[in-house]
Amino acid sequence: MTPLNRLPELHSTLKLLRKAYERTGIAAADHTGATGVITSLTLAEAFLEKIIACAQQPTRAVQIAVLGPTQAGKSTVVNLLLGERHAQTSPLAGFTVHPQAFAINPDASVPEPPDAYLHGFKRCAIRDLPAGNGDADYARFGWEQLNLPVDHPLTHTVLWDTPDFDSVDAGRYLPGLLRTIALADIVLIVLSKDKYADQSVWNIIELIAPLRQPTVLCLNKIDAGSAAALAQALRNKWSQHRQDAPAALLVLPYRKHEPGAEPQLGSAELLQAVQKLAGRKAGSDAAQRACNLVAQHWAGWVAPAMEERLALQRWHKLIDDSISEALKLYRRDYLDHPRHYHTFQRALAELLTLLEIPGLARGIALTRQLLTWPFRQIARIGQSGRPSSVADDDREIALLAQIFDHMLIAVSEAALYAAEDEQTLRSWWRELAQKLRLERASAASAFLSAASAYHQAFRPEIEQTAQLLHAHLSRQPAVLNSLRATRAFADTTALALALHTGGIGVQDFIIAPATISITSLLTESALGHYLGKAQDDLKERQLHRVGALFLDQAEQALRALPLRIDPGKRFNIAPERLESVEKLLDRHAR
């Protein structure tokens, strides 16, 4: 695919970047300088629009832009090229604040003026342009069709007089100037002896270098005695900042005793140089030049977006690390805790039920229910006064909720620490921490509900473990019968003890001997190794389920949190989009 076919995609990405800068205010202090991010972005965006427009409408007039710093005499040079006084001149600095176009003997078949290209700017007659007292006044451009002699050297061209780029207010009308520069097929830079060495001049000259527009340098208001030295100094300065050569370098003197007079000497050479360039066939490498311009500034343009991307990666790592730490706490304080972990004991309790001896099971079960009913009622009354967080069934849920809340606090504190480290995205990190603090209660509540649902959903896993244990026992009848005998003896002993005592702890005692006996026999039998494996397997399945629980809840409470931040504080440009442009530049930029 050729670069030309990819230019609309490139243009839309640059537009997103520029709007992101304007929205976030990151480059607010950098709007006015020629080296500013917004400046180079605006120029590249405009140049791409020009190329796309030219591809759709190849027939167009040659555009000539006259540039220069304050009081260099740009409007005077425009009048010199026109051969008549049409551009307004003034000794005041910054008098011209709008791009002003003079269409010389326009061809009726060529669509003019470029209203679509200069979108956002209102076209006015040059005499009706406002003085530029407000931002709305700057969003205009002047247009005038001139009927000059038909043999005028610049017939069918458009000559643009432009505002300066170095005054205090230049930032306010810089967008119009940049779009005019991007539109130009030929650039004429007017300099004076006082301004030719200014850094602002060379910033602009360097900025437009990748566009490789034919450029004429014009030293204006120069004394004859210093003309040669200044011209050589200008050539040397150019070679320090540009690798190409100017199309021409001309010197225009003026008469000292008639400061208002138009320059005469050198005017013919200037007009001839511009005419020669205007007669050249336009190059077909505009797309290449656009890629070169973008490549030169790309790293600087996307730096905040890349910082945001790295910050997002840092945020995700914080979440991943916090989940990993949460699972370590869960394993330490529950799965591997000798007193808190009771999931496998539930599996053994299920196994006890499966070990009931046929024929005796119904009678023993009925007797157990009758004799233990009073104790179970008393136990329920006792448990009703205990906090649910410490009940056996709720112990795991309470621990999970505590760990999740600890995780939210840790991540919030980490975000605040990151805000101190990050300069560009400090507000982004602070808002993350603030949002997490505000949403912490609702996130904890949602997690508690999800943890309860997990606890209920895991019960079939416990039953499955009991079934697997019973299945292995069934393949060893001697061990199975021994266990059943132990089960019957334990139940009988418990029933007898319950019959002769009235202790409140009898309900626990009913189960405990059977459980201890079963565990001891299983451990000492040939199935001892399998018992440990079954317990480890159940723990791993439980850990996996809890890990999924934390991942799911962290996705909602934490990972998606940046999406809920004020869009005005984010660049929010998809990495895939930036990577696509980078691949284009790697392939076509030189």
pLDDT digit string, tens, across residues 379-412? 455 444 444 434 555 789 999 999 999 999 999 9
Round to whole Å and give the CA distance between 447 and 309: 28
Tens digit of each residue's pLDDT (9 = 90 or more) over 495-506: 444 434 444 333
Return d(Cα 344, Cα 453) in angstroms, integer: 19
Alpha carbon distance 508, 517 (integer Å): 14
Average per-residue pLDDT for the chain: 82
**Is 353 in the same domain as 205?**
no
The sheet with strand 186-192 has its strands ordered as 122-124, 140-146, 100-104, 157-161, 62-67, 186-192, 215-220, 248-252
| 38 and 110 assigned to the same domain | yes
92 burial via Cβ count (<10 Å: 0-12, 13-18, 19+): exposed
Residue 467: Cβ within 10 Å count: 15
Eight-class DSSP state of 332 = I
**Which has more pLDDT, 24 or 403?**
403
- Tokens 């850094």 belong to 199
Do 229 and 372 fall within a single domain?
no
How far apart CA 248 and CA 235 sit, in angstroms, is 10
Given pLDDT bands bounded at 50, 70 and 90, which one contains residue 183?
very high
User: Looking at the domain assignment, is residue 568 inside a domain?
Assistant: no
pLDDT at 135: 58
Q: What are phi and psi of 101, to 5 degrees?
A: -105, 135
Predicted confidence band at 35 (pLDDT cuts at 50, 70, 90)?
Answer: low
Tell me the C-alpha distance between 436 and 371, whole Å: 53
- At 372, the pLDDT band (50, 70, 90 cuts) reads very low
Going by pLDDT thresholds of 50, 70 and 90, the confidence category of residue 25 is: confident
Containing structural domain, residue 294: 3-301
H or E segment to which residue 248 belongs = strand 248-252
Q: Are residues 113 and 161 in the same domain?
A: yes
**How high is the pLDDT of residue 451?**
95
pLDDT in tens, 104-141: 999 887 777 889 999 999 999 999 988 756 555 789 99
How large is the average pLDDT for residues 434-463?
Answer: 93
- Report if residue 569 sits inside a domain: no
Q: Is the backbone of residue 574 left (phi > 0), alpha (psi -120 to 50) or beta?
A: beta
| pTM summary value | 0.74
513 and 528 housed in the same domain: yes
Rounded mean pLDDT, 23-30:
68
| pLDDT, average across residues 62-81 | 93
pLDDT score, position 379: 46
Query: Are 440 and 506 in a shared domain?
Result: yes
pLDDT value of residue 83: 92
pLDDT (mean) for 18-47: 80
Question: Does the pLDDT at position 487 exceed 90?
Answer: no
Q: What is the CATH number of the domain that holds 78?
A: 3.40.50.300
Say what the pLDDT of residue 500 is: 40
32 within a domain of the structure (yes/no)? yes
The percent of residues above 70 in pLDDT, for the chain, comes to: 80
Which of 270, 301, 332 is at the close of a domain?
301
- How confident is the model at residue 23, as a pLDDT? 85
CB contact at 8 A, 354 and 466: yes
pLDDT band at 367 (very low <50, low <70, confident <90, very high): very low
Q: How many domains does the chain have?
A: 2
Residue 494 reports pLDDT greater than 60: no
User: Is there a single domain that holds both residue 272 and residue 179?
Assistant: yes
Average pLDDT score over residue span 294-298: 95
Do 225 and 80 belong to one domain? yes
Q: Which of 311, 319, 325, 313 is nearest to 418 (CA)?
A: 311
Mean pLDDT of 368-389: 47
Looking at residue 348, what is its pLDDT?
75
pLDDT at residue 483 is higher than 80:
no
With a cut of 80, say whether residue 237 has pLDDT above it: yes
